[in-house]
Amino acid sequence: EAGVAQSPRYKIIEKRQSVAFWCNPISGHATLYWYQQILGQGPKLLIQFQNNGVVDDSQLPKDRFSAERLKGVDSTLKIQPAKLEDSAVYLCASSDTAEFLTDTQYFGPGTRLTVL
Amino acid sequence: GQSLEQPSEVTAVEGAIVQINCTYQTSGFYGLSWYQQHDGGAPTFLSYNGLDGLEETGRFSSFLSRSDSYGYLLLQELQMKDSASYFCAVRDRGTDKLIFGTGTRLQVFP
Protein backbone atom coordinates (compact mmCIF):
# COMPACT_ATOMS: atom_id res chain seq x y z
CA GLU A 1 0.00 0.00 0.00
CA ALA A 2 1.43 3.36 -1.00
CA GLY A 3 1.90 5.89 1.78
CA VAL A 4 0.99 9.56 1.94
CA ALA A 5 2.79 11.47 -0.79
CA GLN A 6 3.85 15.10 -0.51
CA SER A 7 5.69 17.50 -2.75
CA PRO A 8 7.93 19.34 -2.86
CA ARG A 9 10.17 17.99 -0.11
CA TYR A 10 12.02 21.26 0.32
CA LYS A 11 11.22 24.85 -0.57
CA ILE A 12 13.12 28.07 0.01
CA ILE A 13 11.37 31.36 -0.66
CA GLU A 14 11.69 34.98 0.32
CA LYS A 15 9.20 36.65 2.61
CA ARG A 16 6.09 37.98 0.88
CA GLN A 17 6.37 35.33 -1.84
CA SER A 18 3.76 32.62 -2.36
CA VAL A 19 4.16 28.86 -2.04
CA ALA A 20 1.96 25.81 -2.50
CA PHE A 21 2.25 22.30 -1.14
CA TRP A 22 0.58 19.19 -2.51
CA CYS A 23 -0.56 16.04 -0.72
CA ASN A 24 -1.96 12.74 -1.95
CA PRO A 25 -3.35 10.67 0.94
CA ILE A 26 -3.55 6.91 1.19
CA SER A 27 -6.21 5.60 -1.16
CA GLY A 28 -9.60 5.35 0.51
CA HIS A 29 -8.76 7.53 3.49
CA ALA A 30 -11.61 9.96 4.06
CA THR A 31 -9.86 12.23 6.54
CA LEU A 32 -6.93 14.43 5.55
CA TYR A 33 -4.95 16.73 7.83
CA TRP A 34 -2.39 19.47 7.36
CA TYR A 35 -0.02 20.11 10.26
CA GLN A 36 2.67 22.69 10.85
CA GLN A 37 5.70 21.51 12.82
CA ILE A 38 8.16 24.11 14.00
CA LEU A 39 11.60 22.79 14.91
CA GLY A 40 11.61 21.25 18.38
CA GLN A 41 7.82 21.22 18.74
CA GLY A 42 5.01 18.79 18.16
CA PRO A 43 2.84 19.01 15.05
CA LYS A 44 0.07 21.60 15.21
CA LEU A 45 -3.12 21.00 13.26
CA LEU A 46 -3.86 23.65 10.65
CA ILE A 47 -6.86 22.14 8.89
CA GLN A 48 -8.78 18.87 8.81
CA PHE A 49 -10.89 17.62 5.89
CA GLN A 50 -13.52 14.90 5.90
CA ASN A 51 -13.81 13.93 2.22
CA ASN A 52 -13.89 17.35 0.56
CA GLY A 53 -15.47 19.25 3.46
CA VAL A 54 -13.61 21.20 6.13
CA VAL A 55 -14.05 19.78 9.64
CA ASP A 56 -11.77 22.18 11.48
CA ASP A 57 -9.67 25.14 10.36
CA SER A 58 -9.67 27.09 13.59
CA GLN A 59 -5.86 27.31 13.72
CA LEU A 60 -5.35 28.18 10.06
CA PRO A 61 -4.20 31.79 9.62
CA LYS A 62 -6.82 32.53 7.03
CA ASP A 63 -5.41 35.91 6.06
CA ARG A 64 -2.49 34.14 4.41
CA PHE A 65 -3.13 30.39 4.40
CA SER A 66 -5.67 28.54 2.27
CA ALA A 67 -6.30 24.87 1.61
CA GLU A 68 -8.58 22.84 -0.56
CA ARG A 69 -9.36 19.21 -1.18
CA LEU A 70 -11.15 18.98 -4.46
CA LYS A 71 -12.94 15.70 -5.22
CA GLY A 72 -12.11 14.46 -1.74
CA VAL A 73 -8.74 13.02 -2.70
CA ASP A 74 -5.57 15.09 -2.96
CA SER A 75 -5.13 18.47 -1.34
CA THR A 76 -3.13 21.66 -1.67
CA LEU A 77 -2.05 24.10 1.02
CA LYS A 78 -1.05 27.61 -0.01
CA ILE A 79 0.67 30.44 1.79
CA GLN A 80 0.37 33.91 0.33
CA PRO A 81 2.27 36.01 1.31
CA ALA A 82 4.80 34.10 3.42
CA LYS A 83 6.31 35.46 6.61
CA LEU A 84 9.56 34.52 8.32
CA GLU A 85 7.64 32.72 11.08
CA ASP A 86 6.12 30.35 8.53
CA SER A 87 9.45 28.51 8.31
CA ALA A 88 8.54 25.01 9.42
CA VAL A 89 7.83 21.51 8.17
CA TYR A 90 4.35 21.10 6.73
CA LEU A 91 3.05 17.61 7.27
CA CYS A 92 0.10 15.99 5.58
CA ALA A 93 -1.59 13.01 7.20
CA SER A 94 -4.61 10.81 6.48
CA SER A 95 -6.72 8.28 8.30
CA ASP A 96 -9.62 6.00 7.53
CA THR A 97 -12.86 5.92 9.49
CA ALA A 98 -11.96 3.00 11.76
CA GLU A 99 -8.43 4.14 12.51
CA PHE A 100 -9.68 7.65 13.26
CA LEU A 101 -11.25 6.21 16.42
CA THR A 102 -7.84 5.07 17.68
CA ASP A 103 -6.07 8.28 16.68
CA THR A 104 -4.06 6.43 14.04
CA GLN A 105 -2.86 8.83 11.39
CA TYR A 106 -0.42 8.16 8.58
CA PHE A 107 1.96 11.00 7.89
CA GLY A 108 3.73 11.96 4.70
CA PRO A 109 7.43 12.91 4.61
CA GLY A 110 6.60 16.61 4.90
CA THR A 111 7.71 19.75 3.09
CA ARG A 112 10.46 21.72 4.79
CA LEU A 113 9.80 25.42 4.12
CA THR A 114 12.44 28.06 4.72
CA VAL A 115 11.38 31.69 4.44
CA LEU A 116 14.27 34.14 4.06
CA GLY B 1 -8.13 23.54 26.21
CA GLN B 2 -5.50 20.84 26.19
CA SER B 3 -1.82 20.89 27.10
CA LEU B 4 0.49 17.91 27.25
CA GLU B 5 3.88 18.12 28.91
CA GLN B 6 6.81 15.79 28.33
CA PRO B 7 10.46 15.84 29.37
CA SER B 8 12.49 17.48 26.63
CA GLU B 9 15.23 14.87 26.52
CA VAL B 10 16.01 11.39 27.84
CA THR B 11 19.23 9.42 27.41
CA ALA B 12 19.86 5.71 27.90
CA VAL B 13 22.19 2.92 26.79
CA GLU B 14 21.49 0.01 24.49
CA GLY B 15 19.61 -2.81 26.17
CA ALA B 16 18.24 -0.59 28.91
CA ILE B 17 14.63 0.32 29.73
CA VAL B 18 13.40 3.90 29.51
CA GLN B 19 10.08 5.52 30.45
CA ILE B 20 8.83 8.69 28.78
CA ASN B 21 6.16 10.47 30.77
CA CYS B 22 3.26 12.57 29.55
CA THR B 23 1.23 14.70 31.91
CA TYR B 24 -1.76 16.55 30.64
CA GLN B 25 -4.36 19.13 31.48
CA THR B 26 -7.49 18.55 29.52
CA SER B 27 -11.19 19.07 29.69
CA GLY B 28 -11.94 15.80 27.94
CA PHE B 29 -10.36 13.43 25.46
CA TYR B 30 -10.93 10.02 23.93
CA GLY B 31 -7.57 8.34 24.48
CA LEU B 32 -3.81 8.79 24.64
CA SER B 33 -1.65 7.90 21.67
CA TRP B 34 2.10 7.88 21.03
CA TYR B 35 4.04 8.72 17.89
CA GLN B 36 7.71 8.25 17.01
CA GLN B 37 9.59 10.65 14.76
CA HIS B 38 13.16 10.18 13.56
CA ASP B 39 15.13 13.28 12.62
CA GLY B 40 13.92 14.51 9.25
CA GLY B 41 11.25 11.83 9.13
CA ALA B 42 7.49 11.61 9.43
CA PRO B 43 5.72 10.84 12.70
CA THR B 44 4.68 7.19 12.87
CA PHE B 45 1.95 5.80 15.09
CA LEU B 46 3.10 3.56 17.96
CA SER B 47 0.21 2.93 20.33
CA TYR B 48 -3.18 3.99 21.63
CA ASN B 49 -4.74 3.73 25.08
CA GLY B 50 -8.50 4.18 25.09
CA LEU B 51 -8.86 2.77 28.57
CA ASP B 52 -6.78 3.06 31.72
CA GLY B 53 -4.05 0.49 32.07
CA LEU B 54 -1.15 -0.97 30.16
CA GLU B 55 -1.05 -1.80 26.46
CA GLU B 56 1.89 -3.86 25.18
CA THR B 57 3.17 -3.98 21.62
CA GLY B 58 6.45 -5.86 21.36
CA ARG B 59 9.24 -3.93 23.06
CA PHE B 60 6.98 -0.93 23.59
CA SER B 61 4.26 -0.54 26.23
CA SER B 62 2.01 2.41 26.93
CA PHE B 63 0.09 3.28 30.06
CA LEU B 64 -2.77 5.63 30.87
CA SER B 65 -4.26 6.76 34.18
CA ARG B 66 -7.08 9.26 33.70
CA SER B 67 -7.45 9.81 37.45
CA ASP B 68 -3.81 10.93 37.63
CA SER B 69 -3.86 12.83 34.30
CA TYR B 70 -0.78 10.86 33.39
CA GLY B 71 0.53 8.42 30.86
CA TYR B 72 3.84 6.98 29.78
CA LEU B 73 5.59 5.10 27.02
CA LEU B 74 7.93 2.31 28.13
CA LEU B 75 10.66 1.16 25.78
CA GLN B 76 12.47 -2.06 26.65
CA GLU B 77 15.64 -3.63 25.27
CA LEU B 78 16.63 -0.31 23.77
CA GLN B 79 18.28 -0.33 20.36
CA MET B 80 20.22 2.41 18.61
CA LYS B 81 17.39 2.76 16.10
CA ASP B 82 15.07 3.85 18.94
CA SER B 83 16.89 7.19 19.02
CA ALA B 84 14.12 9.55 17.93
CA SER B 85 11.57 12.03 19.25
CA TYR B 86 8.45 10.67 20.91
CA PHE B 87 5.17 12.57 21.12
CA CYS B 88 2.09 11.83 23.18
CA ALA B 89 -1.21 13.04 21.77
CA VAL B 90 -4.87 13.24 22.71
CA ARG B 91 -7.99 13.80 20.62
CA ASP B 92 -10.13 16.51 22.12
CA ARG B 93 -13.75 15.44 22.72
CA GLY B 94 -15.09 18.85 21.84
CA THR B 95 -13.24 19.46 18.58
CA ASP B 96 -12.02 15.98 17.54
CA LYS B 97 -8.60 17.52 16.94
CA LEU B 98 -5.48 15.50 17.71
CA ILE B 99 -3.26 17.61 19.98
CA PHE B 100 0.40 16.70 20.32
CA GLY B 101 2.64 17.04 23.34
CA THR B 102 5.88 18.96 23.52
CA GLY B 103 7.91 15.90 22.52
CA THR B 104 10.78 13.97 24.13
CA ARG B 105 14.05 13.43 22.35
CA LEU B 106 15.48 9.99 23.20
CA GLN B 107 19.16 9.37 22.63
CA VAL B 108 20.40 5.79 22.90
CA PHE B 109 24.12 5.29 23.40
CA PRO B 110 26.13 2.12 22.78
pLDDT digits (tens, 9 = 90+) for A58-82: 999 999 999 999 888 999 999 999 9
Nearest CA in chain B to A112: B40
CB count in 10 Å sphere of residue A53: 9
Give the best residue of B32, B46, B97 to mutate against chain A (max A CB count within 10 A). Answer: B97
Q: Out of A45, A58, A91, whose CB is closest to B42?
A: A91
**Edge-to-edge strand ranges of the sheet holding B60-65:** B3-5, B18-25, B70-75, B60-65, B53-57
Q: Is A102 on the interface with B (CB under 8 A)?
A: yes
Give the best residue of A103, A104, A111 to mutate against chain B (max B CB count within 10 A). Answer: A103
Q: What's residue B94's pLDDT?
A: 83
- Given a contact cutoff of 8 angstroms between Cβ atoms, the answer to whether A45 and A32 are in contact is no
B63-108 pLDDT tens trace: 999 989 899 999 999 999 999 999 999 988 888 889 999 999 999 9
Q: Is A68 on the interface with B (CB under 8 A)?
A: no
Q: Which positions in chain A touch B33 (Cβ < 8 Å)? A: 102-104
Nearest CA in chain B to A43: B100
Higher per-residue pLDDT: B26 or B58: B58
Q: Is A91–B30 a contact, with Cβ atoms under 8 angstroms apart? A: no
Stretch A36-55: mean pLDDT, rounded?
A: 94
| DSSP secondary structure letters along chain B | --EEE--SEEEEETT--EEEEEEEE-S-EEEEEEEEE-TTS--EEEEEESSSEEEEETTEEEEEETTTTEEEEEE-S--GGG-EEEEEEEEETTT--EEE---EEEEEE-
B13-57 pLDDT tens trace: 999 999 999 998 877 888 999 999 999 999 999 999 999 999 998
Q: Which positions in chain A touch B50 (Cβ < 8 Å)? A: 102
Specify which residues B98 forms β-bridges with: B91
Q: Which positions in chain A touch B84 (Cβ < 8 Å)? A: none
Q: Is B74 on the interface with A (CB under 8 A)?
A: no
